[in-house]
Structure 1
Amino acid sequence: MSTQFKVMNPATGELVKKVNYNTKEEIKQALENGHCAFKKWSKLNAHTRSKLLKGWSQIIQENKEEIAEVMTIENGKPLKESLGEVTYATSYIDWYAEEAIRIYGRTIPASTETKRIVVTKQPIGLVAAITPWNFPAAMMTRKAAPALAAGCAFIVKPAEETPLTTMKLIELAHEVGIPKDAIQCVNGKGPEVGALFTDSEYVRKITFTGSTPVGKSLIRNSADTVKHVTMELGGHAPLIVAEDADLDFAVTQTILSKFRNAGQTCVCANRVIVHESIVGVFSEKLTEAVNRLKVGNGMDEETDIGPIIHEKGFLKIVSQVKDAIEKGAEVLLGNKYNADKEQGYFFVHPTVLKNVDTTMNIMQEETFGPIVPITTFKELDEAVDIANSTPYGLAAYFFTNDYKVGTYLHDHLDFGIIGWNDGAPSGAHVPFGGMKESGLGREGGSEGIEPYLETKYLSIGHYDQ
């Protein structure tokens, strides 16, 4: 295996930087170092950990423009989105800096006068994380912040496409005084590093954001050492537009959900399910709005949609659109591409498809691109059936001003995150995670620190004198 890998700019195909792979021995040593660091970091009082986390957040904000530029160059997303992601990333650090000093135990009334019962929480141990390329800052801090706040040591393998953002953030963590072995970064091939993480006796928890097949593999491989796991896996989000919806608002929110990072997010609206009585008007309004989006290099301030991250993702998008058209979908907009394999860039113009049905691959497979497939429903339970018809259950959206319709949809949609008249429901203060094959556990909110804690129960016996 080569000792280095290339980080490429997906908008231009140009080399950004060569990064060294860590050797197997280096990664094993890093895991041992993290285990040793845990013994010291976990004993540090919560207020000191909180203060260090706040310092980390502050220094990231002080370097916000530099980090955002690095992110756009290696990821391709528009600079304005990268700037937003840096703020989103620090919001997790800010939140868990506060949660660090609110890890409470409790006493439980005993069933006898001769006992006292105490429940305490303690950090789980060394945490190993594997993070994706689409949100290289936020997906790391969403894991690192609660881990460090709880008293765990943390080691992360970023995606090979986008390691530079993560490396910079960890460099800044060290700069403010978080011990180098308490938060570390290693670079390597996913399957190889994943195996080292799951096999290690030092790692007590695996946290992963990425595809469902890889998540399943990590879960299986963690079983032999009974590691704790948190999995934020694939999604295929439905977006339901009810007959009474405010169509202009629904269009605006659909675009907000669908086209962020060129549609390359796990919570993007991937299946737009519209009541048959309004599909014509909705489609026309949506197509008109989508047509105004600008495709280009993310460093151009007018760009709304950047490149697809690599050729593999590009080919999947092209294949899904082609399959849909061959099966009867109508192209209202798009199906245009600006790609050059030799140069190494792949752009997909925003595409709107009408007359889509569930026989088409785009309705069954997760779409990571700026494609909007529109299908219709007549009765509400039909919309629910379409929405729930895949193995995924991460995010769902619906638009209605009828509380009965909204309550019905909330109760019957099998998804961990639901936006009612809201295309952007994520936040550091709320629990993020999926149902079915979209994951295990929650990240964010007060729930997000619990997976990094063990519960210890103490029963104290005593005798009256």
Structure 2
Amino acid sequence: MVMGVREIREQFNPANTSECIGKIELHTIEETEVKIRASEQAFQQWSKLSSVSRGEILNSMANLLIEHLEPLAELASKEMGKTVPEMMGEVKRGASILRYFSQEGMRAAGEVLPSASEDKMLYTKRVPLGVVGVITPWNFPIAIPLWKIAPALVYGNTVVWKPSIEVSLTSQYIADLFEKAGLPKNVLNIVQGRGSKLGAVIIKSPKVKAISFTGSNAVGQQILNTAGPMNKKIQLELGGKNAAIILADADLDLAARLTIEGAMKQTGQRCTATSRVYIEASVYDTVVEKLIENAKKIKVGETMGPLASKQQFESVIEHIARAKAQGAKCIFGGKPVAELSHGYFVEPTLFTEVTHDMDLAREEIFGPVLAIFRVTDYEEAIRLSNDSEFGLSASIYTTNIHKAFDFIERSEVGLVQINDETGGAEPQAPFGGMKNSSTGFREQGQAAKEIFTVLKTVTINGIRVKGKCEQ
């Protein structure tokens, strides 16, 4: 087969847009098809390998991540803008994910069940699917790919991975480390390029048995429309418009600090970022002052990085302008940082006088912007927090145990936080949302096996013979 000509892409530092940090060769459609076929062939041997041995490779990969902690974090920071300390935290999180799933190779992969017949043995076993397509975003270039790739591999699948083009260098670094960790050739194949071009090849290929995607709702719907009729397993992690509720009985200092952290960490470029906060009227003014105090502590360019790209920068600036035009009041920030005009830096931004029909209350911004609402009481707060097409994460700050447990039951989200920020996930716990935030299977924890394996039920007749034991 004659391959197309590869495009060369330059990657630039969003903190210093004139700095080219490297170049990457993008793959062609033909190369992507070749890699899918190679992964299909590699599946035959990889799936036969002991799951314990597969887990040992993941553990070796975790060790390599820690060995490469600083250079990997520095590269990823330059490529997508998170501060180096934030990125070092993500590398460590990636290692934790790998270590958790490395142990999956030593856990039960089925169960023995009682049979109605004394002469039958009845049990289940989990088996891999084959080739899995993994399509990942730019905002967590290490953690999100690993929490998809690690379980897919340990359960015996092979993977074709299409990372965001915005983090091509970081993604290639990770793929190279997997090779150093001892992963056999073609068990993990990375394809670099635009999602509209190469992602479509993966989604449409009949050789790919499952798709795991994190990204926008629009692209997620396209995947569902294309892959759904093909009877593929589909896992979509999409948008969020996450709400926090601060009640009058809460520790107000803690609530204000964690609300700002939830909104501004990673420059707000998290699907679980706090985007809305509902404050009980009797403490509203006090809490707003505390939110501003905490926002002032953020040092843009030091403790908060730039937005990841020109496109993201322009989108956030446009959202801020639209909020002002629709009548919301900007009480802090709201502008690009003039002294950091060499990068895509935006001030932490707080809005009050927001109504629920404004775009600021309903659309995912994916930037350091927080909408603040005054509510009469808890009932109004939970009603408004649930008034969203999204249902990923939500938090409540209160010392009232009854309201805390009521919130757990009534909050229409997949991730509920009590006296903590809306972000955060541990590898042993399922991750995913409700409504338009997720489709299909949960990620991470024991739930990950649901997408990456299928159950076989086995019956063996004639196990026991009455009266004697036959040799």
TM-score bin, normalised by smaller chain: over 0.9
- Which amino acid is 1:420 matched to? I
The one of 392, 396, 399 aligned to 1:398: 396
Comparing 326-335 with 52-61, greater Cα deviation is found at 326-335
Is the CA contact 2:77–2:84 (under 8 Å) kept in the aligned structure 1?
Answer: yes
Which residues of 2 match residues 221-260 of structure 1 at below 5 A? Answer: 221-260=226-265
The one of 77, 80, 89 aligned to 1:84: 89
Aligned to 2:443: 443
Is the CA contact 2:281–2:377 (under 8 Å) kept in the aligned structure 1?
Answer: no
Aligned to 1:300: none
Aligned to 2:157: 152
1:320 pairs with 2:316: no
Aligned to 2:16: 12
The one of 287, 292, 316 aligned to 2:292: 287
Per-residue CA deviation, residues 147-174 of structure 1 (Å, 9 max, x unaligned), is 1111111121111111111111110110
> Using the alignment, how far apart are the partners of 1:262 and 1:93 within structure 2?
26
Which residues of 2 match residues 35-434 of structure 1 at below 5 A? Answer: 35-296=40-301, 303-338=302-337, 345-423=343-421, 424-434=423-433
Is the CA contact 1:273–1:375 (under 8 Å) kept in the aligned structure 2?
Answer: yes
Is the CA contact 2:113–2:123 (under 8 Å) kept in the aligned structure 1?
Answer: yes
SS at match of 2:32: helix
- Which amino acid is 1:7 matched to? Q
Shift of 1:339: 7.0
- Which amino acid is 2:131 matched to? L
- Which amino acid is 1:456 matched to? K
1:27 pairs with 2:32: yes
SS at match of 2:344: strand
Comparing 439-448 with 241-250, greater Cα deviation is found at 439-448
- Which amino acid is 1:442 matched to? R
Is the CA contact 1:158–1:166 (under 8 Å) kept in the aligned structure 2?
Answer: yes
TM-score, normalization by structure 1: 0.95
Shift of 1:180: 2.4
Question: Over aligned residues, Cα RMSD in angstroms?
Answer: 1.8
- Which amino acid is 1:11 matched to? A
SS at match of 1:348: coil
Residue 217 to residue 115, structure 1, CA distance change in 2 (3 Å): same
- Which amino acid is 2:448 matched to? G
> Using the alignment, how far apart are the partners of 1:25 and 1:325 within structure 2?
47
> Using the alignment, how far apart are the partners of 1:84 and 1:199 within structure 2?
35
Comparing 258-267 with 1-10, greater Cα deviation is found at 1-10
Shift of 1:464: 5.2
Is the CA contact 1:92–1:145 (under 8 Å) kept in the aligned structure 2?
Answer: yes
> Using the alignment, how far apart are the partners of 1:458 and 1:328 within structure 2?
64
Shift of 1:344: 7.2
Residue 122 to residue 309, structure 1, CA distance change in 2 (3 Å): same
Per-residue CA deviation, residues 157-198 of structure 1 (Å, 9 max, x unaligned), is 111111111111110110121112111211111012122112
Residue 22 to residue 2, structure 1, CA distance change in 2 (3 Å): closer
Per-residue CA deviation, residues 75-121 of structure 1 (Å, 9 max, x unaligned), is 11111001000001111100000112114211222233453322111
> Using the alignment, how far apart are the partners of 1:393 and 1:348 within structure 2?
27
Is the CA contact 1:310–1:345 (under 8 Å) kept in the aligned structure 2?
Answer: no
> Using the alignment, how far apart are the partners of 2:33 and 2:49 within structure 1?
25
Is the CA contact 1:103–1:121 (under 8 Å) kept in the aligned structure 2?
Answer: no
- Which amino acid is 1:153 matched to? T
> Using the alignment, how far apart are the partners of 1:340 and 1:144 within structure 2?
40
Is the CA contact 1:7–1:160 (under 8 Å) kept in the aligned structure 2?
Answer: no
Runs of 4+ in 1 over 6 A off after TM superposition: none
Is the CA contact 2:28–2:198 (under 8 Å) kept in the aligned structure 1?
Answer: no
> Using the alignment, how far apart are the partners of 2:276 and 2:114 within structure 1?
51
> Using the alignment, how far apart are the partners of 2:339 and 2:212 within structure 1?
35
Instruction: Note the residue ranges of structure 2 that are not aligned, 5 or more in a row.
Output: 467-471
Shift of 1:133: 0.5
> Using the alignment, how far apart are the partners of 2:128 and 2:27 within structure 1?
27
> Using the alignment, how far apart are the partners of 1:24 and 1:7 within structure 2?
21
Comparing 331-340 with 398-407, greater Cα deviation is found at 331-340
> Using the alignment, how far apart are the partners of 1:139 and 1:269 within structure 2?
19
Is the CA contact 1:75–1:134 (under 8 Å) kept in the aligned structure 2?
Answer: yes
Per-residue CA deviation, residues 392-418 of structure 1 (Å, 9 max, x unaligned), is 111111111111111111111110111
- Which amino acid is 1:449 matched to? K
Shift of 1:65: 0.2
Is the CA contact 1:128–1:156 (under 8 Å) kept in the aligned structure 2?
Answer: yes
Shift of 1:315: 2.5
Aligned to 1:299: none
Identity %: 32
Shift of 1:340: 11
Comparing 97-106 with 243-252, greater Cα deviation is found at 97-106
- Which amino acid is 1:15 matched to? C
